[in-house]
Amino acid sequence: MSYWGLALIEQQWSTLDWLRAQAKRAAQFESAAAFAEALAVELRRALAGLRVRRDVDAGIGIHFTAYEWIDDYWIPELFLVTNWSDPTYTALRPTGVGMSRETHGTFSGEGPRPDDSDPGRRRAVSRYLQAGGWFIYNNGDPELFNPAANSILHMFRTLSKRGILRGADDIGSLGSLTRRPIEVVSAIQHDFCASGTRVVGGKIHDLAITPTGIHSSTSGDSP
Domain locations in the chain as residue ranges = 1-137, 139-223
Strand partners, 139: none
Is the per-residue pLDDT at 120 higher than 90? yes
Residue 168: pLDDT band (50, 70, 90) is low
This prediction's pTM: 0.81
Which is nearest to 205 in space by CA: 191, 195, 218?
Answer: 218
The pLDDT of residue 223: 66
Q: How many CB atoms lie within 10 A of CB 21?
A: 11
Residue 93: how many other CB atoms lie within 10 Å? 13
Mean pLDDT, to the nearest integer, of 126-151? 90
Instruction: With cut-offs at 50, 70 and 90, classify the pLDDT of residue 3.
Output: very low
Residue (of 18, 17, 27, 74) closest to 214 by Cα position: 74
Q: Which of 61-65, 70-74, 95-99, 217-221 shows the lowest mean pLDDT across its residues? A: 217-221
What is the rounded distance in angstroms from the CA atom of residue 122 to the CA atom of residue 119? Answer: 5
Instruction: Tell me the residue ranges of DSSP E strands in 45-145.
Output: 60-70, 73-82, 98-101
Average pLDDT over residues 88-104: 92
Sign of torsion, CA 68 177 103 199? positive
Res. 59 pLDDT band, cuts 50 70 90: confident
How far is it, in rounded angstroms, from Cα 17 to Cα 43? 13
Strand positions, DSSP E, the chain: 2-5, 60-70, 73-82, 98-101, 208-209, 215-216
d(CA 36, CA 54): 26
pLDDT over 70 at 165, yes or no = yes
CA-closest candidate to residue 61, choices 19, 28, 108:
19
User: What percentage of residues in the chain have a pLDDT greater than 70?
Assistant: 93
Res. 125: pLDDT tops 50: yes
Of the two residues 178 and 10, the one the predictor is more confident about is: 178
pLDDT at site 31: 95
Residue 39's closest CA among 54, 24, 49? 24
pLDDT of 7 over the 90 cut: no
Determine what percent of the chain is predicted with pLDDT higher than 90: 50
